[in-house]
Amino acid sequence: MASGQTSALKTVRDLVRWGASEFARNGLYFGHGTDNALDESFHLVLHALSLPADLPAIYLESRVTDSEREATVKLLRKRVKLRKPAAYLIGEIEFAGLKFNVDERVLIPRSPIGELIAKRFEPWLAHEPARILDLCAGSGCIGIACAHAFPEARVDLAERDVAALEVCRRNIELHHCAERVHMIKSDVFGALKGNRYDLIVANPPYVPSEEVDTLPDEFRHEPRIALDAGKDGMDIVARILDEAPTYLADDGVLICEVGGSVPEFTARWPRLPVTWIEFEHGGDGVFLISRADLVAGKH
For the segment 46-69, what is each residue's pLDDT rounded down to a tens digit?
A: 999 999 989 999 999 999 999 999
> Are residue 99 and residue 61 in the same domain, yes or no?
no
What is the tally of structural domains in the chain?
2
CATH value at residue 52: 1.10.8
Could you tell me which residues are beta bridge partners of residue 99? 94
Q: What is the pLDDT, as a whole number, of residue 282?
A: 81
Residue 18 has pLDDT above 50, yes or no: yes
> Are residue 242 and residue 171 in the same domain, yes or no?
yes
**What would the mean pLDDT of 21-44 be, rounded to a whole number?**
95
Residues 11, 72 contacting (CB under 8 angstroms)? no
> Are residue 124 and residue 140 in the same domain, yes or no?
yes
> Are residue 46 and residue 175 in the same domain, yes or no?
no
> Are residue 64 and residue 190 in the same domain, yes or no?
no
Q: Which of 55, 90, 125 is at the close of a domain?
A: 90
Q: Which of 90, 120, 141 is at the close of a domain?
A: 90
> Are residue 134 and residue 232 in the same domain, yes or no?
yes
CATH value at residue 168: 3.40.50.150
> Are residue 82 and residue 108 in the same domain, yes or no?
no
> Are residue 266 and residue 220 in the same domain, yes or no?
yes
Range(s) of the domain holding residue 151: 95-297
> Are residue 145 and residue 169 in the same domain, yes or no?
yes
> Are residue 136 and residue 8 in the same domain, yes or no?
no
Q: Which of 36, 55, 90 is at the close of a domain?
A: 90
User: What confidence category does residue 299 fall into, taking pLDDT thresholds of 50, 70 and 90?
Assistant: low
> Are residue 74 and residue 22 in the same domain, yes or no?
yes
Q: What is the pLDDT, as a whole number, of residue 4?
A: 52
| Cα end-to-end span (Å), the chain | 64
> Are residue 69 and residue 150 in the same domain, yes or no?
no
